[in-house]
Structure formats: C-alpha cells, structure tokens
Amino acid sequence: MSAKLLIAAEANAGKTTLTQTLTKALVISCDGKKYSFPVPNVPVPSFDSAKELVDLIIEKIEAYNERFGEYPETIVFDSVSKFLILCITTVMRNIQGLLFIANWIMKLPSLIISLKIL
C-alpha cells in the first residue's frame, strides 16, 4: 500500500520536526539547512539536470538498502517548495545557456559575412 501526503504550513511551523520520528525512511533535504534528526538523509543543495537528481536519489536509496537490508518505506522531500525552486533554478540556468547559444548561432551568418569582407 502506498500513500502520498503533503504537509503544508507556515515557515518554522515544525514540518521538518515531524520527520524525526519516522522509521524506515529516507529524507531528501532540499531546504538548505542541516537536517539534524537521526533519520537517514541526503542533502541536495543543487543539481544540474533531472538525470543528476534522479541518479543521486537512486544511489542513496540503494545505499540505504545496503546499510539496512531493505528499501525505505517512506521517502520525504523536505521541503517541496525549496525542491520546486531548485528545479526552476536549474531549468532557468539551462535555458539561459541555451538562449545564449541560440543567440550566438543566430548572429553567426552575419559574422561569417563580415569575415569574408575582411
């Protein structure tokens, strides 16, 4: 059986504190703070691609399995809002790079013509 649950509240309301009593859990911490509870966790301060993020999470789930002899029953993303901001930041960073390249490529024909004139 599986359940999905979103805990939403004001900042500093204790959402992360709720995770401290979880068992058989892995916390993917995206909130930029040190996770201070005794639940296995992995900090994710940033990532460059969805593949990098997925690979990291899979690696940590496999490490959990090796350490405890079973997979985590619960995976927590703390916090979802910070995780979403990381995703948006990564996409925007990649789009900015693509826009720079596209803009440069668009200028290439005029640059080639200029070079031929010289």
For the chain, domain boundaries? 17-117
Please tell me the distance from the alpha carbon of residue 5 to that of residue 78, in angstroms, as a whole number: 12
**Which pLDDT score is estimated for 103?**
63
**Which pLDDT score is estimated for 69?**
97
Identify the band that residue 118 occupies on the pLDDT scale cut at 50, 70 and 90.
Answer: very low
Identify the band that residue 68 occupies on the pLDDT scale cut at 50, 70 and 90.
Answer: very high
Residue 38: strand, helix, or coil: coil
List of long-range contacts for 83-92, beta carbons under 8 Å, 24+ apart: 83/28, 83/30, 83/44, 86/30, 86/44, 86/46, 86/47, 89/46, 90/46, 90/47, 90/48, 90/49, 90/50
Name the pTM for this structure. Answer: 0.72
- Asked whether the predicted pLDDT for residue 114 surpasses 60, the reply is no
